[in-house]
Amino acid sequence: MTRIVALSGSRSADSTTRAALRVALGAAADAGAETDLIDLAAVDLPLYHPDEGTQGDSEALKRRVREADGVIAGTPVYRGSYSSTFKNFHDFCGSDEYANTAVGLLATAGGGSYGGTLEHLRSTFRNVHAWTVPHEVGIQGASSKVETGAAARGAGETDGRPRITDDDIRRRTERLGWVVLEHAERMR
């Protein structure tokens, strides 16, 4: 079975990034993938130090990424780029984790643009020999389009998945899960 892992680079309790990643993972699961979410807000991962070996949960997290056929990387937009939480984890990983891996990109913006963030993600993933899929998702004004926590449950969530209220963005996010799965299967 093809394994797809999502990486959430948000530390927010009601993260629109994490919620959108769950929608993409749900679509991949519906298409037959085994899925896993790495919530970087919930792990022990100190600041990367190049002179130290294993730090916190770094080895276990890297193994989960290495064993994945595809990765969906998500981050909130901070100052026109990705979050420091995401960057810190990304510093632990290299081409051993991402070689021959299909990677999809997702960025959630509170109000501003997400284009630079997706560009930065694409560049750094290519630097570690990942294959970034051509379909990407950027969600501008994410807090008004992605329901999280109690808001999602109150809106009739029945399958355990958060809701994206904008139909076009929901379809694009689901498609990200399918596209990553499709390319991961081709690369196996």
| 146: phi then psi, degrees, rounded to nearest 5 | -120, 120
pLDDT confidence of residue 53:
85
pLDDT, one tens digit per residue, over 133-156 is 999 999 999 999 999 875 554 444
Residues 6+ apart with CB under 8 A from 114: 77, 107, 108, 138, 139, 140
The reported pLDDT for the residue numbered 112 is: 83
Q: Which two tokens stand for residue 188?
A: 């196996």
Lowest-confidence pick of 17-31, 57-71, 138-152, 154-168:
154-168
Mean pLDDT (whole number) for 91-113: 94
Structural domain containing residue 80: 3-187
Query: What is the pTM assigned to this prediction?
Result: 0.93
Lowest mean pLDDT among 100-109, 141-150, 157-166, 179-188: 157-166
pLDDT band at 63 (very low <50, low <70, confident <90, very high): very high
How many domains is the chain partitioned into structurally? 1
pLDDT of 157 over the 60 cut: no
Higher pLDDT, 160 or 116: 116
pLDDT above 90 covers a percentage of the chain that reads 88
* Residue pointed to by tokens 């979050």: 83
Asked whether the predicted pLDDT for residue 60 surpasses 90, the reply is yes
pLDDT category at 94 given cuts 50, 70, 90 is very high
- The b/e string for 96-111 (b: 16+ C-beta within 10 A; e otherwise) is ebbeebbbbbbbbbee
Measuring CA to CA, which residue among 24, 26, 1, 21 is closest to residue 9? 21
Domain CATH code at residue 139: 3.40.50.360
**pLDDT greater than 60 at residue 116:** yes
Q: What is the DSSP string of 128-166?
A: TT-EEEEEEEEEETGGGTEE-HHHHHHTT--SS--EE-S
